[in-house]
Amino acid sequence: MGLQSLGYFAFLPVAAAVYLHLPHRWQPGFLLAASWAFYLLAAPQLFTVTLGITVLSYFLARALETPQQRRWLHLGVVVLVAILAFFKYGDLLRLDWGLPLPKIAMPLGISFYTFAAISYLIDAARGDCPVEHDFTIHVLFMNFFPTVISGPICRVGSLMPQLAAEHRFDEGRTIAALRLFALGTFKKVAVADVLGLLVNEVFPNYRSYGGGMLLVAAVAYTFQLYFDFSGYSDAARASALLLGIEIPENFKTPFFATNFSGFWNRWHISFSSWLQDYLFMPLAWADISPLTRGRRERLPVWVCLFCVFFVSGFWHGNTLPFVVWGILQAVYRIGEEVLHQRLGKPKKRAPAPQLWGKRVVVFVLWTFSMVFFRVGSDTTGLGMSDCFGYLAGCVSGLSPARFASELYSAVYNGFYPHALMVAAYYVLVLAGLALAFRLDAYRAFACKNRPSEQALAAMPRRRVIYYLLIVLILAGLIVQNGGFGGSNFSMYAGF
Residues involved in catalysis: 316
For 123, half-sphere exposure in the C-beta direction (CA atoms, 13 angstrom radius) is: 19
Q: Residue 379 phi/psi, 5° resolution? A: -115, 10
Secondary structure (H, E, C), 107-136 = CCCHHHHHHHHHHHHHHHHHCCCCCCCCHH
Alpha-carbon distance values, 160 to 64, 114, 118, 157, 164 (Å):
18, 16, 15, 6, 6
Residue 383 and residue 375 in contact, taking contact as beta carbons nearer than 8 Å: yes
Residue 320, Cα to own-chain centre: how many angstroms? Answer: 20
Triad 250, 254, 255: Cα angle to 5°:
150
Tally Cβ neighbours within 10 Å of residue 388. 12
Residue 414 and residue 198 in contact, taking contact as beta carbons nearer than 8 Å: yes
Q: Residue 267 phi/psi, 5° resolution? A: -110, 130
For 366, half-sphere exposure in the C-beta direction (CA atoms, 13 angstrom radius) is: 25
Triad 330, 377, 336: Cα angle to 5°:
15
